[in-house]
């Protein structure tokens, strides 16, 4: 994608991305440590009736506890996700994309910390999950960050906002200034 002065002048949002990722990681870590200090495994407490409960479980698999024998694979995937977001995030000039990728990076890093440092062993650690909704698997703040980030990726993509801050349809940036050439080859 070609760039021009308007895009080059737009500040990179890498610091925003990293701050959002660190905030997500800190909140995830803090809530997990709180749950571990207060609850026994399997213990449930109603927060909002039976609609929202806190239930401490340890998950060595992925979502819905699938792949419990392949924890090391999910660890490697999480390392790759964090690394790829760190790499591509350097070019982000959109605040929305900075927040979105920061949420995804922080969420992936939150569960990665569990997989690397929790029992039973490095690269095989169990993820601490504790948020329970009816008819849904137990999850944590990191999982929520990844899901919200993924929803935002879809929304931003359908809206036409590129990570460099330009709009796919007219080549203008978030502020309405002319941006780089669009995918159709038309510049403004």
> If phi over 0 gives left and psi between -120 and 50 gives alpha, with beta otherwise, what is residue 185?
left
Distance between CA 54 and CA 44 in Å, rounded? 6
Paired with 55 in beta bridges are 44
Specify the DSSP class assigned to residue 145.
H
Other C-beta atoms lying within 10 Å of the C-beta of residue 183: 10
Residue 131, SS3 per DSSP: strand
Q: Give all strands (DSSP E) within the chain, no chain letters.
A: 44-48, 52-59, 127-132
The values of phi and psi at residue 55, to 5°, are -140, 120
Residue 143 token pair: 């999982």
Enzyme catalytic residues: 129, 143
Contacting residues for 161 by C-beta, under 8 A, at least 6 apart: 94, 96, 97, 167, 168, 174
């Amino acid at each position: 994608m070609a760039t021009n002065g308007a895009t080059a002048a737009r500040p990179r949002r890498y610091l925003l991305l990293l701050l959002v990722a660190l905030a997500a990681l800190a909140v995830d870590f803090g809530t997990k440590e709180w749950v571990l200090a207060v609850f026994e495994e399997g213990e449930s407490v109603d927060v909002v009736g039976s609609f929202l409960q806190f239930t401490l479980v340890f998950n060595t698999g992925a979502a819905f506890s699938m792949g419990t024998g392949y924890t090391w694979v999910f660890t490697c995937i999480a390392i790759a996700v964090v690394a790829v977001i760190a790499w591509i995030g350097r070019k982000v000039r959109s605040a929305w994309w900075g927040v979105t990728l920061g949420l995804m990076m922080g969420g992936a890093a939150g569960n990665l910390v569990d997989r690397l440092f929790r029992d039973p062993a490095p690269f095989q650690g169990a993820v601490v999950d504790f948020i329970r909704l009816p008819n849904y698997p137990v999850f944590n703040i990191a999982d929520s960050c990844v899901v919200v980030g993924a929803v935002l990726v879809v929304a931003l993509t359908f809206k036409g906002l590129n990570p460099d801050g330009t709009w796919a349809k007219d080549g203008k940036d978030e502020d309405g200034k002319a941006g780089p050439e669009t995918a159709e080859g038309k510049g403004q």
